[in-house]
């Protein structure tokens, strides 16, 4: 199973699914802006640990893996979101959850491809909700918000990643978009680096973009 996470101090969305994207459950954790900032982090960290424990209790024969949206490091950078990301990672590490990081652009790209939007189309909150409604039609999911929609696409993309890493699918089974995000590399043809290979895909970045915390002692 896959747990997709969209961290937010105000509305932290999560979605549980099979690794093929079939919907199982979803929810939200919320904190108020007038709470002391450390208390908000602790509340959400402990809440995430409880979600993981509840899932494992309800599905004792299933392996749980996680995908989490990582913060943006540009002009939209938020110290508060990075703090929450660290607290969330602490929870996942303590619960020994194998975890992969996905950027907001990667998550939106997979929803964009699912909807077959035109090239250059900028995915908005409404697009993400529309995509998840289509993807989970007939699976019992109702009343999606954009936090849960993002969490779903994090989880669905993470599910494909973990199936590849665990050898359940081959590179040849991936879409071109999945290949670009998971296994892409660049070979230099000029200059001092000519002939060398720069590995850019997530699969080459263990302990940087994905972690096997289930194997930690």
Which tokens is 3 given? Answer: 């747990």
Q: Over the stretch 100-153, which tens digit does the pLDDT of each residue have? A: 999 999 999 999 999 999 898 999 999 999 999 999 999 988 899 999 999 999
Q: Which of 70-79, 90-99, 109-118 has the lowest mean pLDDT?
A: 70-79
Q: What is the pLDDT of residue 76?
A: 57
Q: What is the pLDDT of residue 142?
A: 85
* Arithmetic mean of pLDDT over the chain: 92
Beta bridge partner(s), residue 6 = 13
Residue 216 or 57, more confident: 57
Question: 97 in a domain, yes or no?
Answer: yes
For residue 190, pLDDT over 70 is answered with no
**101/68 Cα distance (integer angstroms):** 5
For residue 77, pLDDT over 90 is answered with no
pLDDT confidence band for 75 (50 / 70 / 90): low
Domain count, the chain: 1
Question: 137 in a domain, yes or no?
Answer: yes
Residue 82 or 159, more confident: 159
For residue 196, pLDDT over 90 is answered with no
Stated pTM of the model: 0.92
CA distances (Å), origin 66, targets 31, 78, 129: 22, 23, 21
For residue 57, pLDDT over 60 is answered with yes
Question: 192 in a domain, yes or no?
Answer: no
Question: 197 in a domain, yes or no?
Answer: no
Beta bridge partner(s), residue 77 = none
Segments forming the whole domain that contains residue 21: 2-169+205-215
For residue 20, pLDDT over 60 is answered with yes
Q: What is the pLDDT of residue 200?
A: 87
Average pLDDT, integer, range 2-21: 96
Question: 198 in a domain, yes or no?
Answer: no
Query: Which has the closest alpha carbon to 58: 98, 16, 11, 103?
Result: 16
Question: 80 in a domain, yes or no?
Answer: yes
20: CATH:
3.30.420.10
Question: 176 in a domain, yes or no?
Answer: no
Average pLDDT, integer, range 60-69: 97
Question: 187 in a domain, yes or no?
Answer: no
């Amino acid at each position: 199973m896959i747990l997709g996470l969209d961290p937010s101090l105000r509305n932290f969305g999560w979605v549980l699914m099979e690794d093929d994207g079939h919907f199982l459950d979803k929810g939200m954790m919320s904190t108020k802006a007038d709470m002391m900032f450390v208390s908000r982090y602790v509340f959400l960290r402990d809440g995430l640990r409880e979600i993981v424990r509840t899932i494992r209790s309800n599905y004792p024969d299933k392996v749980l893996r996680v995908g989490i949206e990582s913060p943006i490091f540009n002009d939209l950078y938020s110290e508060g979101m990075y703090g929450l990301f660290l607290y969330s990672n602490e929870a996942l590490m303590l619960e020994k959850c194998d975890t992969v990081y996905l950027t907001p652009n990667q998550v939106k790209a997979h929803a964009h491809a699912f909807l077959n939007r035109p090239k250059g189309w900028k995915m908005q909150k409404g697009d993400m909700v529309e995509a998840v409604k289509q993807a989970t039609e007939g699976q019992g999911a109702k009343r999606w918000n954009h936090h849960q929609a993002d969490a779903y696409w994090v989880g669905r993309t993470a599910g494909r990643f973990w199936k590849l890493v665990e050898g359940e699918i081959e590179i040849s089974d991936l879409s071109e978009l999945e290949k670009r995000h998971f296994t892409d590399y660049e070979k230099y043809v000029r200059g001092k680096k000519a002939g060398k290979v720069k590995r850019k895909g997530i699969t080459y970045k263990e302990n940087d973009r994905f972690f096997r915390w289930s194997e930690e002692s």
